Amino acid sequence: MRHLIDPTDFTVEEINQLMLRALDIIDNRAKYADACRGKKLATLFYEPSTRTRLSFTAAMMELGGNVLGFSDAASSSVSKGETVADTARVISQFADIIAMRHPKEGAPFIASQYASIPVINAGDGGHSHPTQTLTDLLTIRRELGRFDHLTVGLCGDLKYGRTVHSLIKAMGRYEGVKFVLIAPDELRLPDYIKHDVCDANNLEYIEVSTLEEAMPLVDVLYMTRVQEERFEDRAQYLRLRDSFILDTDKMALGKKDMIVLHPLPRVNEITPEVDNDPRAAYFRQVENGKFVRMSLIYTLLEWKTQDTRHETRELVEGDKCSNHRCITTIEPAKNLYYKAENNIWRCIYCDHEK
């Protein structure tokens, strides 16, 4: 059985297969109308969502399957103290596949250790969002026709923006990809992405302080919202939230064939006038999210007989993780750390340094 917890759980070849199947679904909708007849998807959303939950629901419905679940942790037995591990065991008796969103980092990973059905990470805290990455990849593929030799600008909240972390991991595996990082000092990329992903793989990146500098360079501009819900200091959020705003003047500095992506929801980092620019691909990106999730559900159910991937990293047991957003702060899980770049030990659930 296979799960999708991190974008690199799938090889480049497997991602390619997922993309090809998504493109086939787009061209042959009727062929897939009964592909998951009799199967059930459980959507376990402990944190708000519009696109991810509803696109998973629409995806399963268009595959002929059914959907059950909750969209508010308060209406589930987590409000009585049930653990993610127990919830995963229980839901495995009712459904064939789980999509889980959780504010704690590593929660879907714990679920995958206890479930007897495939688990999909639908976003865990400020950590990862691999199905958004699949959505982004399908959009880049449909809009630009390739993944290699692209310059990708990432703008906004690169610290808490889980979509950015997952996209760098995924895009960094293609030849000739470069990144332009545009963020306030306080919201720069976490070390585990910068050192363990970018530096360790010799990925080319530059950091710039204005959108004006980035616009002429990029083929893909990935705008993100400053993640209000992850800040402990509200004054800091208010100070940083409008750091970068994409408007029509800045769009005029961009390449003619570049595209603008945004995982959405947007707050005010892209002015509404930009929506009329054909290079603004973020609403087309939403539709791709449904098609790629159809491809993913179908494929993970098909792969159910494959072996579960085993941990190959060197692990040690340690004290409680110091990241207050880590699932181990609320779940009675063994604290394990893996050896990362420069002999730094990182939590297996949230990648935070030991």
Q: Which residues bind ligand CP (CB under 6 A)?
A: 49-52, 123, 132, 263-265
Which residue matches tokens 């919830």?
Answer: 87
Which residue matches tokens 């999210």?
Answer: 289
- The H or E element spanning position 203 is none
Q: How far is the CB of 43 from ligand CP (least distance, A)?
A: 11
Q: How far is the CB of 323 from ligand CP (least distance, A)?
A: 21
Choose between 263 and 321: whose C-beta lies nearer to ligand CP: 263
Cβ(158)–Cβ(183) below 8 Å: yes
- Amino acid letter, 160: Y
Q: How far is the CB of 123 from ligand CP (least distance, A)?
A: 6
DSSP H helices in the chain = 12-27, 51-62, 84-91, 107-114, 130-144, 162-171, 191-193, 211-214, 234-240, 248-251, 282-302
Name the packing angle between helices 162-171 and 130-144 (round to 10°).
Answer: 60
Cβ(260)–Cβ(271) below 8 Å: no
Choose between 264 and 280: whose C-beta lies nearer to ligand CP: 264
Choose between 161 and 172: whose C-beta lies nearer to ligand CP: 161
Q: How far is the CB of 151 from ligand CP (least distance, A)?
A: 23
Choose between 87 and 224: whose C-beta lies nearer to ligand CP: 224
d(CA 133, CA 168): 9
Q: How far is the CB of 295 from ligand CP (least distance, A)?
A: 17
Nearest to 98 by CA among 128, 52, 67, 76: 67
Choose between 106 and 161: whose C-beta lies nearer to ligand CP: 161
Q: Do the bridges between strand 178-182 and strand 204-208 make them parallel or antiparallel, or are there none, so unpaired? A: parallel
Choose between 205 and 231: whose C-beta lies nearer to ligand CP: 231
Q: How far is the CB of 282 from ligand CP (least distance, A)?
A: 10
d(CA 52, CA 59): 10
Distance of CA 21 to the CA centre of its chain: 20
Q: How far is the CB of 256 from ligand CP (least distance, A)?
A: 27
Choose between 92 and 224: whose C-beta lies nearer to ligand CP: 224
